[in-house]
Amino acid sequence: MKVSIENRPGLQRDMNSGAVINIDNTAYQKALNAKLAAEKKEEELQSIKEDVQELKDLMNQIIKRLN
């Protein structure tokens, strides 16, 4: 049996387990999309850091050859 939580629309409590359940699918999807966007942004940042490190390494190689 599930009952609504007072002053918290979109949330219900499962009386058997005591778990709080989010029944607001729109809010859940929005949170999931935000998480995926943050993960994608972090992956892009990591890729840029790797590219910068590669450029640094190449520049150091060029400098060594010129000296």
pTM for this one?
A: 0.65
Mean pLDDT of 4-22: 93
Average pLDDT across the chain, whole number: 96
CA-CA distance, 61 to 43, in Å (whole number)?
A: 27
pLDDT on residue 45: 99
Q: Is 10 exposed, middle or buried (0-12, 13-18, 19+ CB in 10 A)?
A: middle
pLDDT on residue 47: 99
pLDDT on residue 57: 98
Q: Where are the domains of the chain?
A: 2-66
Find where tokens 């590669």 sit. Answer: 54
The 10s digit of each residue's pLDDT in 27-57 is 999 999 999 999 999 999 999 999 999 999 9
Q: What one-letter code names the amino acid at 16?
A: N
